[in-house]
Structure 1
Amino acid sequence: MNRVIHFEIPAIKADRAVKFYETVFGWKIEKWAGPMDYWNITTGADKEPGINGAIMSVDGAIKQVVNTIGVKNLDEAAKKVLAAGGKRVSPDQTVPGIGYFAYFTDTEGNPFGLMQNDPKAK
């Protein structure tokens, strides 16, 4: 079964959003060292139920909170999404050291991500 493994919160002013979530929920938020404006969120200890996420700068394409679902094979999962009436909204992306990722929408227009884990991704 595929599970939600990550969430993303879009922000026009990421520094403002970081301050909000740190203040309200006590989340640990750190700027990612990768090639885009992205702040990783730790929502609690690994032994507690829940998932971690991120704050991302809004680029115009996605303006809603996005849940990412872990899949074994991104290509196969993408085919299922499209066959069921969903739409692709981004090309496949490689996240170095993490895996392969793409954004989609469901039949109702709700955005979500699919992530294939691959620590060897370059």
Structure 2
Amino acid sequence: MNNRVLHFEIHVEDPVKAGEFYKDVFGWKIESWGGGDEPYYLVSTGDENTPGINGGLMKSMDGQTRTVNSILVPDVDEYVAKVVAAGGTVALPKMPIPGVGYLAYLIDPQGVLFGITHMDPEAK
């Protein structure tokens, strides 16, 4: 099923320090994921057979701390157009996540930042 929250990202000043916090408090597994200019950490929040989602931890690109939820869609370009037509704006245009798919960050009419993703293992 599409159009469900797929992934969260926690944007912080110090991802290593934040990762230690989430490991200590919640027992989450934090692992470095290569690629890109800035370090990115995959966050496993628990057993795959338990309801919930996993996410990522990264240095905030603009210095603002936040959590960004990404929604799985069939096509990023199609949904960017839908969001803009409904009064939203583009915060970060479509970009590839190599080997995973494509991602764009958008802002809804109330000012909430969110991501949309479509899977494509050929993304480069």
- Report the TM range for the smaller structure's normalisation: over 0.9
Identity, in percent, stands at 45
Alpha-carbon deviations, 1:13-57, whole Å to 9, x = none? 111100100000000001111113211000011111000001110
* Structure 1 unaligned spans of 5+: none
SS of 2:92 mapped into structure 1: coil
Alpha carbon RMSD of aligned pairs, Å?
Answer: 1.2
The runs of at least 4 consecutive aligned structure 1 residues that moved more than 6 Å come to none
Matched residue, 1:13? 14
Structure 2 residue corresponding to 1:37, chosen from 39, 47, 50: 39
Asked whether 1:84 is paired with 2:91, we answer no
TM-score for the superposition, normalised by structure 2: 0.94
Deviation, structure 1 residue 92? 1.1
Instruction: Report if the CA contact (8 A) 2:70-2:117 is conserved.
Output: yes
Distance 1:100 1:62, change over 3 A: farther
Structure 2 residue corresponding to 1:106, chosen from 105, 108, 113: 108
Instruction: Report if the CA contact (8 A) 1:22-1:28 is conserved.
Output: yes
Higher strand share: 2
SS of 2:52 mapped into structure 1: coil
* Structure 2 unaligned spans of 5+: none
